[in-house]
Amino acid sequence: MSAADAPAERAARLREQLETHNYRYYVLDDPTIADAEYDRLLAELIALEREHPELQRDDSPTHRVGSAPLSAFEERAHGEPMLSLANAFSEADVSDFDRRLREALGVGEIDYMAEPKLDGLSVNLRYESGQLVTAATRGDGRVGEDITANARTIRSIPLRLHGDNVPAVVEVRGEVVIRRGDFDALNERRLARGERPFANPRNAAAGSLRQLDSRITARRPLTLFVFGIGEASEALPATHEQVLETLQHWGFRVNDQVRRVTGVSGCLAYQQRLIEAREQLDYEIDGVVYKVNDRQVWRRLGATARAPRWALAHKLPAREASTRVNAILPSVGRTGVITPVADLEAVEVGGVTVTRATLHNLDEVHRKDVREGDAVMVRRAGDVIPEVVSVIESRRPADTRPWCMPAACPVCGSDVVRIDDEAAHRCMGGLYCPAQRMGALMHFVSRRAMDIDGLGEKLIEQLVSRERVRTAADLYALTRSDLRGLDRMGERSTANLLNAIEASRQTTLPRFLYALGIDQVGEVTARSLATHFGSLDALMAADEEALTAVPDVGPVVAESVRRFFAQSHNREVIAALREAGVDWPDPVPAAEAAPTLPLAGRTFVLTGTLEGFNRDQARARIEALGGKVTASVSTRTDYVVAGAEAGSKRDRADKLGVTVLDEAGFNALID
């Protein structure tokens, strides 16, 4: 093998490895590699393709990270129309459907394939010579929107089909969804950032797939379940069941609830089983689809102008009902976000008695104009707390009033604040509020905060439930007897944990500030505040004007910091921590620091992946030489260090004329 061949062979091996790991993780749910190792392989392939552009291929896993935004979607015609399905709303409708087919085919009984009707967005994927060339939404059934760039980012969509029995041209049809667990995690991240949560998984999936910027789509947890094939250049298997098996062999995810059933009795029994299992499914469904299994008779049965005669969508029972709002209650979450919750007159929705429903945030309460005493429509979409869909204004009592967020936390009495344009209101008693106890403690002990190894979520949960730990200060009073008898706490693990707690008493001011969990204050901001003020007491005494004098601290951060320290409960916990021996050397204030180091006064922003450093190592190297690392690019930034996959920060640097260093340039500078 020549030196020139080495990059090509390495890139080929990396592509094969990455797609295998994608398939095992996103299709089989059976990963065999850690996320960090996957990221390392992907970063290596990105670097290879960047260094050797001739190695870039359309089916490379590097396309899954997204590309530059489009100005608009183009139209894309389907090789074979994606027809709608006729609907059935009762058992009688299903019986009539089965009778018509038996009469048309002259048979006594028909085998069907029954599958859940997923509530997402239908797509058509076109493969030529086994490679994904285009992807489109269903559209009007004949022409959809070209979403190829977005489809490439979805890990459960193979960029190249597996196996040797692949037609020269084939269209694969499926439904793109966001599974319930992924949806809950997505909304938690949005709420934590002060963004409005998505109303339901269907809207989130459709909106994610139709982003003009595929880099946004790449960050959304989309999953494809395939349900059939459109145009194909070669003959396909004789039954729909065999087609689904073929799709699995090609590398697609087929729903594990698909079953072959016989006759109308088999169809109805399947529907009943799915209704019973509905709440345990990890995706939203709105019905069941029955398809004649024998594909040889599909053409014989034909289609109407809008739907095939060989398939039927059987709708599931309604998941909405009307009831009355007894009260609107502010519910405090683990991060301090306060969610208005409607206390309802009990009503049955989808077979479950519902007494509460989420109203998301104050903006949603006002947008829907939900008031105490209102008659409302409630939808249950599989969530623990259902959702108020709308108000029935014709049934509104005359004496209702608009609802207002309370000024004080209903749990701890601390101030409730909505900072700037955030959607969320928050309780500011983060260190003290019992509702935030678990979240505050988990953050306090995390690796980048106080770094108390061995104190995980399960253990904290036990300590909190036994009321042994109420605030972070109580951690430093724990004894062997407190830990004895807790799950998985033997002598060695108890000794290790107590040693870790003891070691954490000596920390740094930036780590301590970050550990407090002040809204808007991450590691970089905590470091800036510590360096600027030089002591915790000086910071706690600072007003908003003094806080905004800190580089990269704007009015929003300043208000959040001031309000946090203004809460007497938070100050009490901080005092208790210091009395427990938590201590640190005060950093030299920035105004007093002598600019003798080579990078003194220089501001850096790190973006992308560096090969020789991780982010922490690069930051430590810069700070050791007197420089400062910030999170965002501005006119005050001196250098942007851009590694592999550098994105919008590099673009902003170019726009502002900020010097951009690749890894070689960065090494030259710090050496």
Q: Which residues are catalytic?
A: 117
In the chain, DSSP finds a helix count (H) and a strand count (E) of: 24, 22
In what helix (H) or strand (E) does residue 277 lie, and over which residues does it extend? helix 263-277
Contact 537, 586 (CB under 8 A): no
Q: What's at 350, amino acid-wise?
A: G
SS3 state of residue 300: helix
CA angle 254/258/260 to nearest 5° reads 130
Helices marked H in 144-218: 148-151, 180-192, 201-209, 214-218
Question: Which tokens in the block code for residue 240?
Answer: 């729909």
Contact 512, 498 (CB under 8 A): no
C-alpha 139/C-alpha 146 separation (Å) is: 10
Half-sphere exposure of 228 (CA within 13 A, CB side): 21
SS3 state of residue 588: coil
Task: Report the Cα–Cα distance between both ends of the chain, in Å, rounded.
Answer: 36
Nearest to 150 by CA among 62, 230, 65: 65
Max intra-chain CA distance, the chain? 95
**Structure-token match 């780590």, residue found:** 511
453-492 CB burial, b ≥16 within 10 A, e <16: ebbeeebbebbbeeebbebbbbbbebeeebbeebeebeee
Question: Which tokens in the block code for residue 261?
Answer: 């059933």
Helices marked H in 3-85: 5-26, 35-51
Beta bridge partners of 270: none
C-alpha 19/C-alpha 158 separation (Å) is: 8
Please say whether the dihedral angle defined by the alpha carbons of residues 264, 381, 458 and 614, taken in this order, is positive or negative.
positive
C-alpha 285/C-alpha 315 separation (Å) is: 9
Q: What's at 526, amino acid-wise?
A: A
Sheet holding 111-118, edge to edge: 87-88, 311-315, 285-292, 111-118, 259-262
